[in-house]
């Protein structure tokens, strides 16, 4: 997990296998009284854990959604639900089984920057153009998925 924007706010990571560092605090068993006392400004967790917190937690900065490489990318409906639940920007991050960060969405929200050589691009479309955020690492764009959806709609 990397927090996508500096300075890093109080961020609760609701997942096992990560280490607390600075304002980032890990709650391996998920949301609990201790996490509530921490009063996070942002939360990073797998989608099901985030969805259980809808309406129960007020955030000011961001939600970071952990996905596995084999899971589909977050779709517009899921992003919309998270926006309506938390009213903060949504960032998707692909995390390996050993918690290595494989790919991460930046503040330009134009794809996920590939962060590790362990990432298997498979048949994903990769964009190597410079990103609006200033980073030049290749990105997983998801445009292919959008094109596929458009093709189905025809
Ligand atoms: Zn970027």
Using a CB cutoff of 5 Å, list residues around ligand 1, an ion: 106, 108, 131, 133, 135
The verdict on residue 32 lying in a domain is yes
Measured in Å, residue 34 CA sits from the centre of ligand 1 at 33
145 assigned to some structural domain: no
148 within some domain: no
Is residue 114 in a domain?
no
The predicted structure's pLDDT at residue 109: 92
Residue 60 lies in a domain: yes
| CA of 132 relative to ligand 1 center, distance in Å | 6
Average pLDDT, the chain: 91
Give the model's pLDDT for residue 124: 77
- In-domain check, residue 123: no
Does residue 98 lie within any of the structural domains? yes
Q: What is the 141 CA–ligand 1 centroid distance (Å)?
A: 11
Answer whether residue 126 is part of any domain: no
**CA–centroid distance, residue 61 to ligand 1 (Å):** 18
Per-residue pLDDT tens for 40-96? 999 999 999 999 999 999 999 999 999 999 898 999 999 999 999 999 999 999 999
Report whether pLDDT(145) > 90.
Answer: no
How many domains would you assign to the chain? 1
Q: What is the CA radius of gyration of the chain?
A: 16
In 3D, which of 16, 77, 82, 6 has the Cα closest to residue 47?
82
Closest to 71 (Cα-Cα) out of 11, 19, 128, 145: 145
* pLDDT beyond 70 at 148: no
- Is residue 154 scored above 60 in pLDDT? no
Tell me the residue range of the domain where 66 lies. Answer: 11-108
Q: Please report which confidence band the pLDDT of residue 152 belongs to, taking 50, 70 and 90 as the band edges.
A: low
Angle at 103 between CA 10 and CA 61, to 5 degrees: 25
| Alpha-carbon gap, residue 18 to 122, rounded angstroms | 26
């Amino acid at each position: 997990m990397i927090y996508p924007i500096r300075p890093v706010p109080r961020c609760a990571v609701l997942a096992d296998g990560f280490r607390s560092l600075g304002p980032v605090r890990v709650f391996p068993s998920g949301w609990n009284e201790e996490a509530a006392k921490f009063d996070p400004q942002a939360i990073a967790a797998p989608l099901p854990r985030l969805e259980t917190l809808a309406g129960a937690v007020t955030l000011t900065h961001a939600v970071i959604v952990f996905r596995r490489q084999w899971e589909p990318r977050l779709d517009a409906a899921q992003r919309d639900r998270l926006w309506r639940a938390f009213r903060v920007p949504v960032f998707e991050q692909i995390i390996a089984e050993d918690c290595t960060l494989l790919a991460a969405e930046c503040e330009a929200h134009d794809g996920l920057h590939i962060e590790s050589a362990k990432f298997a691009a498979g048949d994903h479309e990769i964009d190597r153009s410079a990103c609006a955020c200033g980073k030049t690492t290749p990105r997983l764009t998801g445009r292919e998925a959008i094109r596929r959806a458009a093709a189905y709609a025809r």
